[in-house]
Structure 1
C-alpha cells in the first residue's frame, strides 16, 4: 500500500496541478484535496456522495479498491438492482438485458444501511464459522497425528514383546528337547551297559571253560574225556541259546539317536518374511463442523418443498424372511446402512450398494431405535428394558450401558448430543459419554420417534396421528395432523424440511419447516408398504426408509432442486 504522500487530488491533476489528497469519494472514484473537497461537498450533484479519509481508504482490501461504481459494459453509474439475476445494472443494462425481469428495484434501496443488514451478520457469521471449522480440522489432524505417534510406539512395543515371547518360548522348547536328548541317551546307555556287563561275565565264564577243556584233553582218561565232551556240549548249547535269545529280542540292533522336529522349522522359517503387517484403517469420524448460515439476503435460490423430487437409488433386501425393522441409520460418507430388527433381535449392516454385509449383534432384549454417535459407535434403545447401549459396530460388541430410569423409544443425535425419548413425558439429553446434560419435558405419552435439527425438536405421536415441533425448552411451536395416519419414523433434511413415515397412509410425507405445507414424496405406487423407520444423511441428501414387516427397504436421493 502506498503512503498518503503518494496520493494527489484527481481534480487538481486535471489542471496540471499537484495537491495532496486528504479524502476519496467512493461514488466519483476520485481523490480530493481540502479545497476540492469543499467544492465537492457544496455541489448539488455530489454533496450527498459518501467520502472517506485517506487513512480509511488505505485500510480497504485490494479487491474492494478494484470494484467499480460504473457498469463495465456501458460506463454508466449503477442505479438498478435486479433481484432475479442478483446483479446491479445501469439504465442501459436494464433496457438491454433486464427488460423482462421482475423485481427491479432502485439500487439505493438494496444497499442502503447495508452495514446494519442481516446479510452482513450472516457473512460475518459464515466467515467466523469457516475459520472455526478450519481450526477444528487442524486440531483433528494434530490429534490424529498424536494418536498415530502413540499407536506407533505401542506397535513397536508389541513387536518387541512378541520377539521376546518367541525367544522365551523357543528357549523353553529348546531346553525341553535337550533334556529329552539327555534322558534318552542315559536310558539307552544304561541298557547297553547292562548288556555289556552280561556279555563280559559270559566271556569270562567261556574263557574259563576253554581252559578247563584244554586241561581235560591233556590230562584226563578217555572215559573222562567222553563224559566231559557231553558236559561241554551242554554248556555250549546253553550259551548259544543265550545268544539266540538276544538276537531274537533285537538286542543286536544298533542304537542311533535321531532328532525329529514336530515342526519343520528349518524349512518354514525362511518362508516367514515378517511377524505381521501394518495397516492404516480409515475410520469414519463425526467431525462437528459449523454449517453455513441459511436464509441469506438476495439468495437467488430458496429451497421449495414442491421441488423435492426423490429418486430411488437402491432397494435393500432384508436377510430374513420375516422382519420388523424399527430403526435405521445411514453411516457417515454413506459407507453403509445399519438396521435394527425386532423379530430376530439383531443389528445388521448393508453396504452402500445395497448388499447385505453381516449381522453385527444379536440381543437378549428387543431393540427399538438407533442413532450414530461417533467413529464406529451407535446408540441403541430397547422396548423391554430401561437401558441405552453404545455399540461398536466394527468390533461387534457392547462398549457401554446407561439406565435412563424409564421406557425408552426413539433416539437421535445432533451436534455431539444424544436425545432419547423416555416415558412418560420427557426427552433425555446425553453427551456422547452418556452423561446426562438436560431433560426436556413434553406433553403426550404416545410420542414414539424424535428428530433434532438446530434449535428445534420434532416428534411423531402414533396414537393421535400427529407430527409436532417444539423448541428445546419444551414449548410446542406447531402440530400437524391433517392427512397423516399413524406417523412413526421422522427426520429433517439440511433445508429444515421434515420427513415422516406414515404407516397408515403407506407413504413418506414431507412438511415445510413451519408445518404449514406438506407433500407426499413416495407412496405405495413405488412399492412402499407400511413405512416405519427412516433416517436422513443431511450432507449427501440421502434418505433410507424401512417397511415394518416387509423384506425390502429403500434408499432415496432427496436433493431439493
Structure 2
C-alpha cells in the first residue's frame, strides 16, 4: 500500500512547480492538484475519466498500483479483450498476437460494472473458503499428531505389557519393534511438520490477500479491480491445486498407529516377531469447503463457448505404425495416456504431443482408461472381463480384479471408479483397491463410455445414436439423440457441460447438464474426422480427443 507522504502534482512538476496533488487520474496515470484537476475535468478528452482522491489512492494495495492502462509491449491503451487468451489487448496486439482469435470484445463491456458482478462475490467466497480450509488442515494435522502421540504411548505400553509376560528370548524382537514405532512416528511427525509449516506460510499469504481484497474492491478502479481479481483468482487456483495434491497423495487422510499383537505364548521360542506395526488411513479425506464444480463460470468466461470456438493448440505425433485409439486420459502432470487397440497397448505422450514410451502391451483387447491416484491408471479389458490397475512409471500391473461381464467404459469420480459391464446391464462402482462398493442396475444395454459428475452418470449409446443420463440409483433421467451419429467418448468439464465425441458426425459437441442445449464445439473443418476417445482436465480446462485413425489433438476449453 502507498505511504501517506506528500505527493506532488505531476503536471505542475513538469513546470518545476511543487503543488500538492489532491487527486489521481487512473486513466491518465497522473497526480493532479486542485487547479489542474479543474482543467482536467473540463477538458473534452478527460472529463469522463475516473478520478480518485489521494487518500483513496494511498489505500490501494501495492499490487493494484502496478496495473497499467497501457500495453507494456506497444504503450497503447488497452481497448479490447480476447476471450480465448483471457487478456486485454491494444490495437497493435491484435495484429501481433490475436490475428486469428475470434470473439474479441470491447474491454469496457468486460470490466463494466465489475464490482457489482457475481465474479466479485464468487472470488471473495473462494478466498474465504480457501483461508478456512488452510486453517482446518492446520488444526487437522495438530490433532492428528496429538492423537498419534497418545497412540504411540498406548502402543509402547501394550508392547511392554506383553513383553513382561514372555521370556528373555524376545528381547531383540521387542527392541526392533520399538525402533520401528519410534522411527515411523518420527517420519510421520517430520512429514506433517513440514506440511504444517507450508500451511502456515500459505495461510499468512491468504490473510494478506484478504486484507488487500477488501481495499481493492473499495478503492480501486474497475480496471484495477479486473486485473486484481484475476491475480487473486490465480492465487486461489494455485492453493486449491496444492490442496488437491494433498488429497491425491492421501495426505488428508488421518494416519493411525496401532500394534496388532499375536498370541505367542505357545510358540514364543520359534517366533521371529510378536506384534505388527501398521499405519492406517481413515476411509475418507478431511472434509473441506470446495469451490464447487457446478459453480457459475467466471465473469470473463461465461460462457466462453458461445463467444469463442476452442482452437486446437497441439497435435500429437503418433508412432508411424497404424493405431486405433479407443480411450485416453490426461495425467496430473499433463502427460496423456492413449489406449491403442491396434497393438493392444498403452501409449504415453507428453503435453507437447511427443511420444514418450509404450507403457505395456496386453494379450487381450483393452477398452478404456481412467486416472486412479499418484502414478496409477485403471484399464478395462473387453475379452478378459477384467479391470487392471497399471503403474505408468514402472510399466507394471499392480492390481487386478475379475468382473462378471465384458467391460467397456470406465471413469473416476470422488475416490471411486465406475465401470460399464454389458452382460448384466449394470454400472459397477469400485474403490481404488478394486473392491466392489455398489452395483447400479440399468435397463439399457450396449453402452459405450461413461462420465460421472455430482449425482449423475452420463453415458454414450453408440448403437442408438444417443447420450443418456442416469441417477446413481440407475434411474434414466433423460436421453439426447438430436442430429448426432455414433457418439462415443464422453467427459464433463468443471461447470457441468457434457462433451461428446461424435464419430459419425465428425464433431465434438457440448450438452447442458439437463440435455436440453447442444452446441457443436469443433468440427470437420478443424481436423475432426471420426473421433472416438475424449478426456478433459477439469482443473486446467483442457480437452484431448483422438480420431479413429489416431490423429489426436489438445485444445483449451
- TM-score computed with the length of structure 2 as normaliser: 0.51
CA contact (8 A) 1:532 1:547 kept: yes
In the alignment, what sits opposite 1:404?
403
CA contact (8 A) 1:321 1:551 kept: no
**Change over 3 Å in CA distance of 1:317–1:121 after alignment to 2:** closer
> Quick one: distance in 1 between partners of 2:504 and 2:489?
12
**Change over 3 Å in CA distance of 1:483–1:448 after alignment to 2:** same
In the alignment, what sits opposite 1:362?
361
> Quick one: distance in 2 between partners of 1:354 and 1:148?
43
In the alignment, what sits opposite 1:346?
345
**Change over 3 Å in CA distance of 1:139–1:543 after alignment to 2:** farther
In the alignment, what sits opposite 2:487?
487
In the alignment, what sits opposite 1:149?
187
> Quick one: distance in 1 between partners of 2:127 and 2:440?
30
In the alignment, what sits opposite 1:420?
419
Aligned residue for 1:332, secondary structure, equals: coil
Structure 1 residue 432 and structure 2 residue 432: aligned? yes
> Quick one: distance in 2 between partners of 1:338 and 1:448?
19
Q: Summarize the alignment of residues 447-458 of structure 1 with structure 2, pairs less than 5 Å apart.
A: 447-458=447-458
**Change over 3 Å in CA distance of 1:523–1:297 after alignment to 2:** closer
Structure 1 residue 461 and structure 2 residue 461: aligned? yes
CA contact (8 A) 2:408 2:419 kept: yes
> Quick one: distance in 2 between partners of 1:389 and 1:456?
25
Aligned residue for 1:149, secondary structure, equals: helix
User: Runs of 4+ in structure 1 displaced over 6 angstroms?
Assistant: 119-126, 137-143, 145-148, 150-153, 294-299
Report the alpha carbon displacement of residue 389 of structure 1 after superposing the two structures with TM. 0.2
Aligned residue for 1:443, secondary structure, equals: coil
> Quick one: distance in 2 between partners of 1:299 and 1:349?
33
Report the alpha carbon displacement of residue 429 of structure 1 after superposing the two structures with TM. 0.4
**Change over 3 Å in CA distance of 1:471–1:314 after alignment to 2:** same
**Equivalent position to 1:286, from 248, 259, 270:** 248
> Quick one: distance in 2 between partners of 1:542 and 1:379?
21
In the alignment, what sits opposite 2:132?
131
Q: Spell out, residue by residue over 1:397-456, the C-alpha distance to the aligned partner (whole angstroms, 9 max, x if none).
A: 000011121111000001111001111311100111111111112221121100001111
**Matched pairs, number:** 314
> Quick one: distance in 1 between partners of 2:513 and 2:344?
35
**Change over 3 Å in CA distance of 1:355–1:456 after alignment to 2:** same
**Change over 3 Å in CA distance of 1:297–1:508 after alignment to 2:** closer
**Change over 3 Å in CA distance of 1:381–1:120 after alignment to 2:** same
Report the alpha carbon displacement of residue 291 of structure 1 after superposing the two structures with TM. 3.2
> Quick one: distance in 1 between partners of 2:297 and 2:496?
19
- TM-score computed with the length of structure 1 as normaliser: 0.50
Structure number, greater radius of gyration: 1
> Quick one: distance in 1 between partners of 2:383 and 2:418?
19
CA contact (8 A) 1:286 1:332 kept: no
> Quick one: distance in 2 between partners of 1:477 and 1:301?
32
> Quick one: distance in 2 between partners of 1:413 and 1:521?
24
Q: Spell out, residue by residue over 1:510-553, the C-alpha distance to the aligned partner (whole angstroms, 9 max, x if none).
A: 111211111111111111211001000000011000111x2420
Aligned residue for 2:397, secondary structure, equals: strand
